[in-house]
Chain A
C-alpha cells in the first residue's frame, strides 16, 4: 500500500468491552509509526511512537503492537470507558525514498464511541 489506512472507520462498544483497531502502512522505507487520540475541541494527544518491528507499548489500558515487515499496527483498549470516546489516528512518515523527519501521513482515523 502507498498510504496509511485505518479500520474500522467507526466503532461503537459498551462500557467494559475490550476493543482493537488496525493501522496499515507501507512496509518499505519505514521510519516510525505514531498513534494519537483526538477528542473534539482538544489537541491530538500523542499515545505512542513505535520504531522497531515487534515493538509493544502500553499506557494504562491502551496498548499497541507493530509489525513493520507486513506493515500494520494494532491498538488495543482494555475495559473501554466512556472517556475513551475519541478519534484514534495513526500516522507514519511516507514519501518517495522515505523521510527521516516528522512529515506525517495520517490515516482517516477510527471514531470510537463507548456507551455507558
Chain B
C-alpha cells in the first residue's frame, strides 16, 4: 500500500494474555520505529529497526515487550502477559533510511485495551 499499515486497528484483551501487533511499512523504507501513547502521556519511543536489526531497543518498557522484523519489511510487536498499564495506542512508523532529517511516516495505530 501507499502508507504504513497496522493491524489490528483495535484490540481488547484480558489481563495476562499475549498480543501481537503487526506493521507493514512503506515499501523500500529501511528504517522502522514503534512508538506508543498511553492515556494522558505523550508519544514515546519504543524501538528502532534498521533492516532486520534493532540497534536501539531502549524504549521497550519491560522484558514482556519484544519486537522483530523480517525480510526488511513487516514487523511484529509482541506483548506477553499483558497488564492494564499496557493499554495505549501503538504506532508504527517508517522512513527511507533512518536519517533524522528525513520524513517519518506513521500508521494509524493499533489501539490496545487490556481489561
Contact = CB atoms under 8 A, between A and B. Distances in A.
B42 A46 contact: no
- Classify chain A: how many residues form its interface, as a range: 20 to 34
Contacts of B42: 106-109
Contacts, number: 69
Nearest to B32: A102
A106 B100 contact: no
B70 interface: no
A109 B40 CA distance: 11
Contacts of A104: 33, 35, 43, 45, 100, 104
- Classify chain B: how many residues form its interface, as a range: 20 to 34
Contact of A103 (B33, B91, B101, B108): B33
A43 B98 contact: no
A32 B103 CA distance: 10
Contacts of A93: 100
A39 to B, nearest CB: 10
7 contacts: A36-B106, A101-B98, A102-B31, A103-B45, A104-B100, A106-B43, A106-B44
Given A49-B101, A104-B33, 12 more contacts: A43-B91, A44-B106, A46-B103, A46-B104, A101-B48, A101-B56, A102-B100, A103-B33, A104-B35, A104-B45, A104-B104, A105-B45
Interface of A: 31-32, 34, 36, 41-44, 46, 49, 51, 89, 91, 93, 99-109
Interface of B: 3-4, 31, 33, 35, 42-45, 48, 50, 56, 59, 91, 93, 95, 98-109
